């Protein structure tokens, strides 16, 4: 693995001439030492006091909501309307996290044990959150609030691609807590691994690629089996369109879920399995549904499709534009050098339709997450064929079913390999009010939404000989 750079500057993906301020890499040992030193005191801080500090953080985040939204927009190219949604979710998330803390962190006194007993949930110790670029604050903020409420110091190692906005987030929050309780450590993969493998870190939350997540889990489990590792690794999410579906709703949902954040969402729609009886009608209506998603300057309120974040993402998108046997382009997709006068990582959506499910599944793209606005349409002969085609792909994050029949929806939900299944909603629906986590190559079942706090503590059992303690 190449060494991390000592410093770097990110460019605005929508205007590559716009360079953000320099970021300096962090040294790992001082961060670890500070988190370790803070651990005992933070664990002993009563939950009510931890909640009050999180309430203070909530007020600060609300005050700086627009600033953070602008930072997300500028650094990763997320359209400003979406960026405002992400910044707003930080504020709302704290209410959900506090509710979970009050529900799940309480101890238990069993009444059916032979001796007086307690079941307690003890803080585990410092937690490392390795964040992604696509939701640089929201996907790190959720587990951070849970671990802080549970009594664990938090080290946030953001994606280098979102270093600047995450640094600002850290500047706002860190002073609210005792020294070492919340820190941002800047760097790349080398720093992430050095922090993750240190025994002082007791929990790791990783959002990123399947190969990196698998490697991290297998190595950490072998070396330190008591360390908790939560993985969110992406998706190849499907919309399933049955013969009785509302086609207008289906095509609009597919277009939205394919183009939000320029397809750079773990829950983006990447494939659509359409019953053959409505396949021609679906294709006819799908292209107009994509017309509103034209690449544009992300800081404009009217923009629905911003740029991809990196040049590497553009090249991955470009690979989907090559002709393949057994598929035809419904929208050919395109890489744009500029939008207006601005040079950036802009692309136009790509849609290709396959002749049948077997041909699609035989092609490598069926197993590939493009992480860009690429959608593949696959005809299926019925529900059982849809189930088989869906489950032949190893990802299992979200799926959407378009049907008017509750019976059909529940049958599919009982058989689809996916942890979040929606009826007549986009695959990107995923509200913070519900748990969120993946199966298969999408992760290891840890919810990233509600109830994540269940993974932040260690269970401890106390028993005593009756009438011996006063």
468 in a structural domain? no
CA angle 40/46/51 to nearest 5° reads: 110
Q: What are phi and psi of 206, to 5 degrees?
A: -125, 130
CA angle 249/347/269 to nearest 5° reads: 35
175 and 274 fall within a common domain: no
CATH number at residue 296: 3.40.309.10
299 and 241 fall within a common domain: yes
Structural domains of the chain, count: 2
2 in a structural domain? no
Do you know the residue count of the chain? 470
pLDDT tens string 325-339: 999 999 999 999 899
Given this model, what pLDDT does residue 1 score?
A: 58
The DSSP code sequence of 101-136 is HHHHS--B--SSSSS-EEEEEEE---EEEE--SSST
64 and 152 fall within a common domain: yes
Q: How far is the CA of 443 from the CAs of 59, 209, 371, in angstroms?
A: 32, 10, 16
266 and 308 fall within a common domain: yes
252 and 372 fall within a common domain: yes
Strand partners, 12: 15
Q: How far is the CA of 464 from the CAs of 110, 116, 250, 402, 470, in angstroms?
A: 13, 6, 60, 57, 11
CA 60 from chain center: how many Å? 23
> pTM of the entire structure?
0.96
Q: What is the DSSP secondary structure assignment for residue 466, as one 8-state letter? A: T
156 and 263 fall within a common domain: no
d(CA 263, CA 132): 14
* Residue among 184, 40, 49 at smallest CA distance from 125: 40
* Residue among 256, 371, 290, 339 at smallest CA distance from 12: 339
Q: Tokens 């939205």 — which residue?
A: 256
Residues 6 or more apart whose Cβ sits within 8 Å of residue 297: 14, 15, 303, 339, 340, 342
3-state secondary structure 263-328: HCCCCCEEEEEEEHHHHHHHHHHHHHHHCCCCECCCCCCCCCECCCCCHHHHHHHHHCCCCCCCEE
440 in a structural domain? no
Output the six-digit token pair for 28. Answer: 């790992």
3-state secondary structure of 211: helix
d(CA 409, CA 394): 21
219 and 265 fall within a common domain: no
164 and 200 fall within a common domain: yes
12 in a structural domain? yes
Q: How far is the CA of 240 from the CAs of 134, 254, 302, in angstroms?
A: 25, 10, 29
Helices (H), 367-451: 383-391, 406-415
Q: How far is the CA of 319 from the CAs of 81, 307, 359, 397, in angstroms?
A: 29, 17, 18, 24
Contact 132, 208 (CB under 8 A): yes
Q: Tokens 């939000």 — which residue?
A: 260
Strand partners, 156: 129, 184
Q: What are phi and psi of 396, to 5 degrees?
A: -155, 65
Contact 91, 142 (CB under 8 A): no
363 in a structural domain? yes
d(CA 111, CA 109): 6
97 and 53 fall within a common domain: yes
Work out whether strand 117-123 and strand 342-354 pair parallel, antiparallel, or are unpaired.
Answer: unpaired
Contact 145, 97 (CB under 8 A): yes
Q: How far is the CA of 362 from the CAs of 216, 239, 324, 357, 389, in angstroms?
A: 29, 20, 12, 9, 11
d(CA 196, CA 207): 13
d(CA 16, CA 309): 11
CATH number at residue 136: 3.40.605.10
d(CA 200, CA 23): 26
426 in a structural domain? yes
* Residue among 453, 464, 462 at smallest CA distance from 150: 453
45 in a structural domain? yes
Per-residue b or e along 407-437, where b marks 16 or more CB atoms closer than 10 Å to that residue's CB:
ebbebbeeebbbbbbbbebbbbebebeebbb
Given this model, what pLDDT does residue 160 score?
A: 98
Given this model, what pLDDT does residue 445 score?
A: 74
| Residues of the chain where predicted confidence (pLDDT) is lower than 50 | none
120 and 197 fall within a common domain: yes
Structural domain range at position 92 = 7-233+445-462
65 and 178 fall within a common domain: yes
268 and 295 fall within a common domain: yes
439 in a structural domain? no
Strand partners, 115: none
């Amino acid at each position: 693995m190449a060494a991390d750079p000592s410093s770097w500057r990110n460019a605005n993906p929508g205007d590559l001439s716009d360079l953000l301020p320099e970021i300096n890499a962090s040294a790992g040992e001082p961060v670890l030492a500070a988190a370790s030193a803070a651990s005992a005191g933070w664990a002993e801080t009563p939950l009510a006091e931890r909640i009050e500090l999180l309430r203070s953080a909530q007020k600060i985040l609300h005050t700086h909501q627009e600033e953070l939204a602008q930072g997300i927009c500028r650094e990763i190219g997320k359209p400003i309307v979406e960026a405002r949604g992400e910044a707003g979710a930080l504020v709302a998330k704290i209410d959900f996290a506090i509710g979970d803390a009050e529900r799940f962190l309480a101890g238990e006194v069993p009444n059916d044990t032979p001796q007086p007993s307690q079941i307690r949930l003890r803080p585990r110790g410092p937690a490392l959150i390795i964040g992604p670029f696509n939701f640089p604050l929201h996907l790190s903020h959720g587990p951070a609030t849970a671990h802080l409420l549970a009594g664990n110091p938090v080290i946030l190692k953001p994606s280098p691609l979102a270093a600047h906005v995450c640094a600002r987030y850290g500047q706002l929050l860190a002073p609210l807590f005792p020294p070492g309780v919340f820190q941002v450590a800047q760097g790349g993969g080398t720093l992430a691994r050095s922090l993750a493998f240190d025994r002082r870190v007791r929990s790791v939350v990783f959002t990123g690629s399947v190969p990196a997540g698998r490697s991290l889990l297998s190595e950490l489990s072998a070396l330190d089996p008591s360390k908790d590792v939560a993985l969110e690794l992406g998706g190849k999410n499907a919309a399933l369109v049955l013969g009785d579906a509302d086609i207008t709703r289906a095509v609009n949902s597919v277009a939205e879920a394919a183009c939000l954040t320029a397809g750079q969402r773990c829950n983006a729609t990447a494939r659509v399995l359409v019953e053959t009886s409505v396949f021609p009608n679906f294709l006819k209506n799908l292209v107009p549904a994509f017309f509103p998603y034209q690449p544009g300057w992300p800081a404009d309120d009217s923009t629905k499709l911003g740029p991809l974040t990196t040049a590497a993402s553009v090249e991955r998108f470009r690979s989907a534009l090559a002709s393949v046997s057994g598929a035809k382009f419904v929208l050919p997709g395109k890489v744009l050098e500029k939008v207006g006068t601005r040079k950036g990582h802009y692309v136009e959506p790509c849609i290709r339709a396959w002749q049948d499910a077997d041909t699609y599944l035989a092609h490598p793209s069926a197993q590939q997450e493009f992480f860009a606005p690429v959608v593949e349409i696959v005809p299926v002969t019925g529900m059982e064929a849809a189930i088989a085609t869906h489950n032949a792909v190893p990802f299992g994050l979200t799926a959407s079913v378009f049907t008017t029949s509750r019976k059909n929806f529940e049958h599919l939900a009982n058989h689809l390999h996916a942890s979040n299944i929606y009826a007549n909603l986009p695959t990107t629906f995923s509200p913070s009010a519900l748990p969120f986590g993946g199966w298969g190559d999408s992760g290891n079942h840890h919810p990233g939404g509600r109830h994540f706090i269940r993974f932040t503590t260690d269970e401890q059992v106390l028993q005593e000989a009756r009438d011996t303690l006063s």
